[in-house]
Amino acid sequence: MAASGQVNGNVSPQYLGVTQPISTAGPTEADHARTLKLEKFLVSAGLYESQDEAVLREEVLGRLDQTIKLWVKQISQNKGFSDQLIQEANAKIFTFGSYRLGVHGPSTDIDTLCVGPRHASREEDFFAELYTMLADMEEVTELHPVTDVHVPVMKFKFNGISIDLLYARLSLWVIPEDLDISQESILRNIDEQSVHSLSGCRVTDQILRLVPNIQHFHTTLRCLKFWAKRRGVYSSVMGFLGGVSCALLAARICQLYPNAIPSMLVSRFFLVYTQWRWPNPVMLCAIDEGTLGLPVWDPRKNPCDRLHHMPIITPAYPCMNSSYSVSLSTLRVMMEEFRRANEICENLEMNKADWNALFEPYPFFEAYKNYLQVEITALDDDDFRQWKGWVESRLRHLTLKIEKHTSGLLQCHPYPCEVVDSSRKGGHCAFFMGLRRSQGVPQREGQQFDIRATVDEFRHSVNMYMLWKPGMEVYVSHVRRKQLPAYVFPGGLRPVRAPRPSIVVSKSASRPAFGNSVSQLPKSDSGTTDEDVDDISGEGGERLKRKFQPAEEVGLTKWQSSSERGLEGYSAEEELEAVDDIQTSRLLSFCSPSWNSQVVYVEGNQGIACVPCIWDYLLPPLLWCAKPTGAFGGTLLGAVGASESWMKTPQIHGPHIFSFTT
């Protein structure tokens, strides 16, 4: 909806959206060059369909439209209507989603809506009679209905083209061929599911009316959807951005920068939403209250709307939040990705990066130490498709329950891409969720997270599936990063992690004298890292609590004495899991008053690792770990064979001072 403002008594030009544009500046030559490179990149990535496939899609839609017209005449005849009403009986197919927006790709499904008359019911006629007709057609494969969801849908392939078919039952006896579903009156006297089914088409058409340049919007949205898929933040089912939410966010940027071209719009997209103060809503137009009394998104009136973390409001009546499934954890993940992308776009504008950097795949299976694995199995493909759709629709609730039952202390990052073990017979796939302590939560030693009850509650809700058959199973288990199955990696090959940088320690000019002998060293428990201090209990009560062990037990290449190494120092291998997240950035060294050794501190983002270089085989290799609590403070969590006098009187050379406690 166009709006106008008045400044200093003068009426400003009309603009689209609820506010004036941020900038009306046009592109520079550099912007045109970057846009050309972006378009070439999208073409090379295979995001555009061929002309032959475009023709095939049109043919499929035409054939589907003929089928539903024949279907409505048959059910009219079966219900005993007059010949005239049978002849006039009609149903109509509409498209929405990415196909209607013009941003679909080669393998994208077509979101379609069947609009039928009042005498064609959803349960008996659409999901029974039409289902039977489609099942008897040779062109139709992989047909299965999904009825126990917010918006029931029939999924199938028609000549190899994936179709999602919704149904809306209007209050009209005859559906006119020139039906305009954008009118509010079309929603009068229909059921709630029909209202939701119609919303897809109504919202899509309204988005196209509210953007200043449709061609620029197409390219920008195509780019952003590809980015979201590559970075693992594209799935409304999992609590991330869905197709509608992506389109609304992109359309709002087009309104705020009406004269910008795609490269500029992509850059401004990440700039704006990096700074957006959620839960302030994103809206393309003012919320329409309507005249039919249908509920609309309004946190002032609806308490449940106040709980939404990332409201993105649809522009068609009844206005709703398209991103209601976003949780605190998924919002955190998306904000991190917005910030990363914004930095890359800034480098792009300074010619310090290219478009490839923006679309690098997110290394999900290397990003976390702990994962929740949800395996879905069935005996045959038909059962598997139905069972998988049911379980997948419930995974978001598992994320929310983990957040709730741990009081937000444990963050759950669901990965929206399924992985398949091709070596297994029957239907199989697995979904994974990364688990870690919430950022900014104070560390408490020995804190445990027991999510077994949460998992049991999730499995109980999943097993309530009304169409369950023998062989439909779901397995939930907790796995560490090193325990991830090989099939989650490309080609079934686990990537080789880069080795840790070598740390060279030189012998001091003179060897200090020490008052304490080796026999006086007391024994103490092993320490734990900042992240590994947790217990996470999962399937079968499996528990995670790692402690530092001697090098031989954890697979670390044995450290040699200075005489063996020729005073060259030592190198720590990647296999030492206790410090595998520590990034070397600064070295702090000091001499121990109770050991004949020099100790090196390696500081990183996750903590501080301290490894002594042992002289003359006096002590076995030891390891310390401390967590930083600020720019000039930290806490030592524990040590193996620690010296009390050493901890009390460290001689630290470096910018950080740590207060040690056992």
Given 31, 194, 199, 225, the catalytic residue: 225
109 as an active site residue: the answer is yes
Q: Which of 31, 73, 76, 111 is catalytic?
A: 111
User: CA-CA distance, 385 to 428, in Å (whole number)?
Assistant: 10
Judge whether 532 counts as a catalytic residue: no
Three-state secondary structure string covering 476-506: EEEEEHHHCCHHHCHHHCCCCCCCCCCECCC
The one catalytic residue among 15, 73, 92, 98:
98
The single residue of 15, 167, 234, 257 carrying the catalytic annotation is: 234
Q: Find all residues with CB under 8 Å of 503, minimum gap 6, and list them.
A: 569, 570, 571, 572, 584, 587, 600, 602, 611
Annotation says 111 is catalytic? yes
Identify residue 375 by its one-letter amino acid code: E
Phi first, then psi, for residue 162 (nearest 5°) are: -75, 135
Active-site choice (125, 164, 530, 532):
164
Q: Which of 337, 323, 315, 326 has the alpha carbon at shortest distance from 209?
A: 315
Contact, 391 vs 378, CB < 8 A? no
Contacts of 140 (CB under 8 A, 6+ apart): 134, 156, 157, 158
Whole-angstrom Cα distance, residue 279 to residue 312? 9
Angle (CA) 19-23-24 rounded to 5° is 105
Beta strands in 361-405 (DSSP E): 370-378
Angle formed by the axes of helices 262-275 and 328-349, nearest 10°: 140
The angle formed by the CA atoms of residues 43, 47 and 51, to the nearest 5 degrees, is 85
Cβ distance 152 to 193 under 8 Å? yes
Active site includes 167?
no
Catalytic residue among 48, 69, 109, 450: 109
State how far the Cα of 476 lies from the Cα of 248, in Å rounded to an integer: 35
**Residue 225 is among the residues annotated as catalytic for this protein:** yes
Active site (catalytic) residues? 98, 109, 111, 164, 225, 234
